[in-house]
Amino acid sequence: MCGRFVASSPPADIAAYFGVDEVAESLLEPNYNVAPTNDVYVVYEDGGARRLDPFHWGFVPSWAKDLSVGNRMINARAETVATKGAFKSSLAKRRCILPVDGFYEWKKLPGQKAKQPYFIHRSDGEPFAFGGLWTQWHGPDKSGDQMTVRSTTIITGEPNDKMSEIHDRMPLILPTGAWDDWLDPGLTDLEVIGKFLVPAPSELIAFHPVSTEVNNVRNRGEHLIDEIDPS
């Protein structure tokens, strides 16, 4: 799964990198420990424009009674995303990209209960383009007033050889040449879309061990990605 990541780039830089036409007025603070249910930046196409907006991380289907359903849908498995009822429609019509500066995974250590966290980033220093889905939910807030929430999930799949050294899953990472088709709501052929659901090349990623401070979601500072000596 993918349950924590880094989103530290300024929105203007994200917009330029992903060819965004319109940027939301409500902006997010840099966060080096983004966790489920946080708001996250999403690149998507709507009304013929490519937009950058904050979405709720945790997919909330239209039929959900409340937002808590999204807590269990932070990821969508590539192996079943085309057949699972909650995701199938969004895979066909509402695909998106989550701009990510890196993410964390935890490696099991022989003979120890504790796991060692690692920071995974692109070897060339560029942002990741995580393949995701989005949807829109209408329902009551805590006071009973109606609200509209756009939410997202990250697609995960089998790891490449490099990633398998740490974990048995990895996020879908889209190459630059796939962005236009992936974001195109007019492309609805699930067989064609399925060709994007493959692991990124091993040479794309690098990683190093980081402090267990990242285990606490209240810690959000830049120091979390600093390499440590795990010994």
Catalytic residues: 2, 105
Q: Which residues contact 9 (CB under 8 A, 6 or more apart)?
A: 17, 30, 99, 101, 127
**Cα dist. 97→45, 100, 129, 134 in Å?**
10, 9, 6, 9
Measured distance CA(227)–CA(210) in Å, rounded: 5
Distance of alpha carbon 68 from alpha carbon 53, whole angstroms: 21
Burial 157-181 (b: 16+ CB within 10 A, else e): bebbebbeebbebbbbbbeeebbee
Segment (H or E) for 190: helix 190-194
Using the CB atoms, write b or e for 216-225: b if 16+ within 10 Å.
eeeebeeebb
Q: To the nearest 10°, report the CA torsion of 163, 194, 122, 214.
A: -60
